[in-house]
Amino acid sequence: MKILVDIIHPAHVHFFRHAITEWQSRGHTVAVTARQKDVTIELLDRFGIPYTLLSKVGRGLGGLGCELIRRDWRLWRYCRRFKPDVLTGISGVFIAHVGFLLRKPSVIWDDTEHQQLAHRITWPFATAIYSPESYNKPPVKKQHLYPGCHELAYLHPKRFTPDRDLVAQLGIDPDSRYCIVRFVSWGAHHDVGQHGLADSEKLDFIKSIEPFAKPYITSEGQLPEKLQPYQLHIPVHLLHHVLAFASLCVAEGATVASEAALLGVPAVYVNTLRAGTIDRLERAGLLRQTTETRQALQMSLECLADTTAVETARRNRDILLQKEQDVTRLVVEAVERFGKDGR
């Protein structure tokens, strides 16, 4: 079987990398097409995943629209040569159109309810859509809900074990108190009009946390000069090992906030957008969400003052995982089934 995997965001590399290995071990031919966004290409290189670069991320709605047209065309041409039996990807904006034109099944993984524009131009052309059970909108006919979330494709205990020695080799003491702070670029179409931490208050936020836990910043965009001394400098594919031993994670992006929660790290999510997966993690006692910088700071300091916060988060994580499944297994089997049966 020939499987086309379209990767358009760094998190998608992690989501598919174990599935790619399993498909290959089962004798399938896998081709990866990629989009230059943040550290996507670096991650593919670090994990040794061959790929074909088709586009770089557009800026603003106009730029994203132009990218959609160009990338659809390039992906269609690529698939005409590769001749996949099935296409798969997160969000699926590009593969749904190409799969429809080629009369090949497209299997989409979606956990983002507020991508309304993307859904309107994608879902009518998709063969199947898989979403977590926590999805907070009524499912459409072709949508399948499962117990889990995207991040469990690579952070499920069957797939990932944090390495304390590796973190130490990176120059970070895993037994010390430190905080991972994640800034996003706000460049996606669903980010228009949204916000996280106030830019004017980020330095004060970091300095307020610093007496209680060493802050390390990871950012999608270029940091202002005053924040650069706090930037985390490690190979990008090792972030989850460092994140796993943190005392706190403060994130503007849902992915890193969810990753921290699933690693048993207390998390504060600062974003005006809500999502079903975030709500589920909040109900499980693994994460807190706010839209205000001052409240985020208060939540962060409360967490750092609580000597049992990490222990409680890990216990709540273990309880949650008893109800979730190995998402990579689902990905492997679902794509194989649609590739074999077609539409």
User: What is the CB neighbour count within 10 angstroms for residue 35?
Assistant: 22
Beta bridge partners of 89: 6, 108
**What stretch(es) of the chain map to CATH 3.40.50.2000?**
2-156+327-341, 164-321
Residue 96: band (very low, low, confident or very high) from pLDDT cuts 50, 70, 90: very high
Helix (H, G, I), strand (E, B) or coil at 34: strand
Task: Give the CA dihedral 73, 76, 77, 80, nearest 10 degrees.
Answer: -170
Name residue 192's amino acid: V
The contacts of residue 25 (CB under 8 Å, 6+ apart) are none
For residue 272, what pLDDT is reported?
81
Between 14-23, 198-207, 297-306, the lowest mean confidence (pLDDT) is in 198-207
Confidence of residue 186 (pLDDT cuts 50, 70, 90): very low
Tell me how far apart the alpha carbons of residues 320 and 155 are, in angstroms, rounded to a whole number: 13
**pLDDT grade for 193, boundaries at 50, 70 and 90:** very low
Q: Do residues 88 and 4 make contact, with C-beta atoms less than 8 angstroms apart?
A: yes
CATH superfamily of 2-156+327-341: Glycogen Phosphorylase B; (3.40.50.2000)
Averaging pLDDT over each range in 62-76, 189-203, 205-219, which range is the top one? 205-219
What's the whole-model pTM score?
0.91
Tell me which DSSP letter residue 138 carries: P
pLDDT tens digits along 42-54: 999 999 999 999 9
The secondary element (H helix, E strand) that includes residue 178 is strand 178-183
Q: How many helices (H) and strands (E) does the chain have?
A: 14, 12
- Look at 20-24, 166-170, 194-198 and tell me which has the smallest mean pLDDT: 194-198
pLDDT of res. 58: 64
pLDDT at 228 over 60: yes
Radius of gyration of the chain (CA): 20
**84/81 Cα distance (integer angstroms):** 9
The structural architecture, per CATH, of the domain 164-321 is 3-Layer(aba) Sandwich (3.40)
- The 3-class secondary structure across 80-102, one letter per residue, is HHHCCCEEEEECCHHHHHHHHHH
Which of the 8 DSSP states describes residue 222? P
Cα separation, 97 vs 341, whole angstroms: 19
